[in-house]
Chain A
């Protein structure tokens, strides 16, 4: 009976545990500093939108490609998961076209003309010129979805519980400590490292390639008729613009910022105002023409996307005599890559467990 300990209870850890728990032979324990319900700057998942706006390049599209069908099925068939279908519009500014070609942003894949992900959505279409605002060179529309993170994360916990996963709060100094934290009381066979941003600080991992990408948002009660984003803003290179309405009364997320290397946990009032102004400019109907004053604010928030230079790390490694499978560094695509990455982990787990006998 393989004994697995998952470190971290963000969307990556929960989805990985969920997938592994489908094999009844696996004994799984999740150990984490933060759990769904917590709001903390070290715990990125609750702060995310979240939605599906594929941002990988074609060559790295495996994770998002494999996740989309799973999330879509949940949206259609499992209302309690807190996901609903939403149309998405992606606008490409004329002034950004050159930059996009040189690959300045890490979410470039999203704004590519003729993107790889158009095959994922059967209603994908380019917008006609009449549908485009003045500064836009082009844009596309497709049927996507929006996830209410505060419902989805607990739903994942529930699914894990139904499969016998045990949850424990814990803080580790070194990844190898997880080996002795299995609820079964025996040494774990495999440790899954889904510590996100904290992978940069965790003993035994200490990944210097992991840096935060600060995202400030405003959560409002107003509703957006569809999800909208554009390739850049005039305010700053690291300020972006997007809006999405979460399922089941989760509020509407106005974003945002994309500040690489910024650890600041507190919202900046100036940025908040700029975010609101930008969204209202891009989508005036959201406040029925009342401008920024028409926003009914629930709260402001800041999340630190766990970005990794070199891309996500999904690989196995033996640390201090115990197998560790890493799954961290998802930047801003954690939810939309969650199932695909979990599958990658499951493959590595199988590789480890399927060992020949002397």
Chain B
């Protein structure tokens, strides 16, 4: 039998004939082990089985096709291999089989000796071995360390037989594989070249005049700074260009909302980079995201740090377009707890009539948020904010929406700004945290900073009638974002207390507080209490779509899928009923139109969240048929046969 591989005419009668073929292929483990440059950088158990390297040597040696084993008599490997019990393998190896093996070993002990590590004879895997290994296995260049390849292969280095079992093999021969940690480290390739441009341009000798040295020094420092900035600007260019490319590419995907590009933000960004001061530069360079290129570093926020917000999409053919004062209509509907989609339409009309009407945008955003149309809400509120960056209503509602959507750092910054408007003594608008892509730890720090500010504000009026419920709400939102739900519950509770006793315009917000309380309870696993809170909200405002959605979610968590579906469908029905009413009106005005034509008119902003959740409920109920029917704009009535609502 030939262990040297090569083409086999017949594999029958040759139990180990295919051995060479397999084992020559997959050396990945050894490669990884030897080079230790793989992603799993640490010396781990994965590579620490020390006994095996010598065997691999042997195995490789024997399997080498180019016949570099002249001293290895073939007769030694005959088909009648003794089937040794694994535990005895070593013993047998030592004494029996081919004596030439042992000779080989004796003849070449020096390789065993030459080792940086003091290991017993024959146990190491030194540089020469690696060189040989490389030669034999022709490891690809990308994996190889630059090791000298001087030695010709003299034969197997370690004496134990390759036939031996895995576990104990080295022991008998005195081979105690010692090296737990691999000896070859590939240079870490992550340290960016960019870091070097941080060099502060030392080594510039200048003569300083005795009198004017301060001036000169300042001048030099300025020049240095300028040079540095220019350098850093240049270094930034490719990164920015790449960023632009990435943004352009994602432009074509099918997802709207935050995934699409707001060109205004882009040009703003370009302008802003030119004005960045040194601190910003330092921050950016220290931020791993910038240093390591796209895709590396913790939580790449390059694309998703700040939400990309599109312009608000108005419904076509608004019922209220000819109403003289749609804003007042909208306010009336809200105060009376009417249908939120209707209220939204009224505010849309108001905003379309006068796009500078900040309050119209604010109310539109608030209505859509309660209507469980978060994206629309955010767009409207951002519009309000662009008209009036310090509008407290817009800021608070935006902070809540961003928290819901997972844009934590944006939410925190928005709350900070809100505080600077209402409590400039605690934080001045000039001291606001800069907008920047934040890694995970930086977000924590920002969160803690803003929370402390809010606590300071809360302490200004510790209790009773003076307590500012909005501060409590802000604090509650902050705790909610950090998953400190107990504290959040306390805050919302305090806000509830003071609001219920407060002025009437505050009382109109109570249902919001009950919903927030419920959401917080739900997140801390208190489903039943959450449901009670939602029901309080719904009692005050039966048309509160968001609360009804939340109720559905709590039902899912309690395993009541059927009931959950019922709540979700009821919520969708509230959207649809206005659409239907609008449809009738539209028919009056525009004449006979097909349902699909009307559908196109009334589904600009639909609640993907409601649809997605409903679909998931149906899947969990095992009703794939129902799940497939859930598409954006579907009429809930379609499901009446299966679900009561």
> Which residues of A pack against B, CB within 8 Å?
1-2, 22-25, 27, 39-42, 171-174, 176-177, 179-181, 184-187, 189, 198, 200-202, 211, 214, 235-236, 239, 259, 262-274, 276-277, 292-301, 320-322, 347, 350-351, 353-358
Contacts and interface: CB of A to CB of B under 8 A. Distances in A.
Residue among B52, B56, B86, B546 with most chain A CB within 10 A:
B86
Contacts of A293: 12-13, 15
B343 interface: no
A21 to B, nearest CB: 12
A181 B304 CA distance: 12
Interface in B392-443: 400, 403-404, 406, 408, 440, 443
A300 B480 CA distance: 56
Contacts of A177: 295-296, 298, 300
A355 B29 contact: no
Contacts of A172: 39
B354 to A, nearest CB: 30
A186 to B, nearest CB: 5
A2 B49 contact: no
Nearest to B609: A357
A16 B76 CA distance: 50
A274 B300 contact: no
Nearest to B620: A350
Contacts of A322: 299
A325 to B, nearest CB: 15
Nearest to B77: A269
A201 B18 contact: no
Contact of A22 (B29, B89, B619): B619
A357 B550 contact: yes
Nearest to A26: B612
Contact of A259 (B167, B403, B546): B167
Contact of A264 (B12, B16, B166): B166
Contacts, number: 217
Contact of A42 (B28, B42, B374, B440): B28
B645 to A, nearest CB: 18
A350 B246 contact: no
Interface string B8-49: 000111111111011101101110000000011110111101
Contacts of B549: 357
B15 A295 contact: yes
Contacts of B14: 297
Contacts of A301: 22
Interface string B510-537: 0000011011101100000010000000
A354 B89 contact: no
Contact of A270 (B22, B30, B89): B89
Interface of B: 11-19, 21-23, 25-26, 28-30, 39-42, 44-47, 49, 52, 55-56, 59, 81, 83-87, 89, 162-167, 246, 249-250, 253, 255, 258-259, 295-296, 298-304, 372, 374, 400, 403-404, 406, 408, 440, 443, 477, 480, 515-516, 518-520, 522-523, 530, 546, 549-550, 553-554, 556-557, 608-609, 611-613, 615-616, 619-620, 624, 627
A79 B309 CA distance: 48
B304 A200 contact: no
B15 A357 contact: no
Contacts of B46: 200-201, 263
A9 B579 CA distance: 45
Nearest to B296: A177
Given A181-B295, A270-B164, A353 B616 contact: yes
A268 B59 CA distance: 9
Contacts of B556: 350, 354
Chain B interface, DSSP helix/strand/loop, else mixed: helix
A358 B477 contact: yes
Contacts of A1: 255, 608, 612
B19 A269 contact: yes
Nearest to B404: A357
A299 B22 contact: yes
Contacts of B84: 270
A300 B608 contact: no
A263 B299 contact: no
A276 B15 CA distance: 8
B298 A320 contact: yes
Nearest to B13: A293
Contacts of B403: 358
Residue among B59, B165, B550, B554 with most chain A CB within 10 A:
B165
Nearest to B613: A354
24 contacts: A40-B28, A42-B29, A176-B299, A177-B298, A180-B295, A184-B250, A201-B46, A239-B86, A263-B49, A264-B29, A266-B55, A268-B164, A269-B16, A270-B163, A293-B15, A297-B11, A299-B22, A300-B19, A355-B523, A356-B550, A357-B549, A358-B404, A358-B519, A358-B520
A2 to B, nearest CB: 7
B15 A272 contact: yes
Contacts of B85: 235-236
Contacts of B620: 347, 350
Given A201-B44, A356-B530, A357-B549, A270 B15 contact: no
A321 B443 contact: yes
A293 B29 CA distance: 31
Contact of B253 (A40, A185, A262, A274): A185
A358 B400 contact: yes
Contacts of B163: 268-270
Given A181-B295, A296-B11, A357-B549, A272 B304 contact: no
Contacts of A187: 299-301, 303-304, 406
A179 B300 contact: yes
Contacts of B164: 268, 270
A257 to B, nearest CB: 9
B402 to A, nearest CB: 10
Nearest to A210: B45
B28 A351 contact: no
Given A201-B40, A274-B83, A265 B26 contact: yes
A296 B19 contact: no
Given A1-B612, A293-B15, A358 B303 contact: no
A358 B477 CA distance: 8
Contact of B26 (A40, A297, A356): A40
B18 A297 contact: yes
B381 to A, nearest CB: 14
A200 B44 contact: yes
Contacts of B44: 200-201
A268 B22 contact: no
Given A40-B28, A184-B255, A354 B553 contact: yes
A123 to B, nearest CB: 27
A41 B374 contact: no
Nearest to A292: B15
Contact of B25 (A25, A39, A264): A39
Residue among B39, B47, B255, B522 with most chain A CB within 10 A:
B39
B107 to A, nearest CB: 25
A200 B608 CA distance: 38
A42 B443 CA distance: 35
Contacts of A358: 400, 403-404, 477, 480, 515-516, 519-520
Given A271-B165, A350-B616, A354-B556, A185 B11 contact: no
Given A235-B86, A300-B23, A357-B374, A180 B616 contact: no
Given A265-B29, A357-B404, A179 B299 contact: yes
A188 to B, nearest CB: 10
Contacts of A235: 85-86
Contacts of B23: 266-267, 300
A329 B608 CA distance: 35
Contact of B259 (A186, A189, A350, A351): A186
Given A180-B302, A263-B52, A300-B16, 5 more contacts: A185-B249, A185-B253, A214-B166, A297-B15, A320-B299
Given A185-B303, A235-B85, A2 B22 contact: no
B295 A171 contact: no
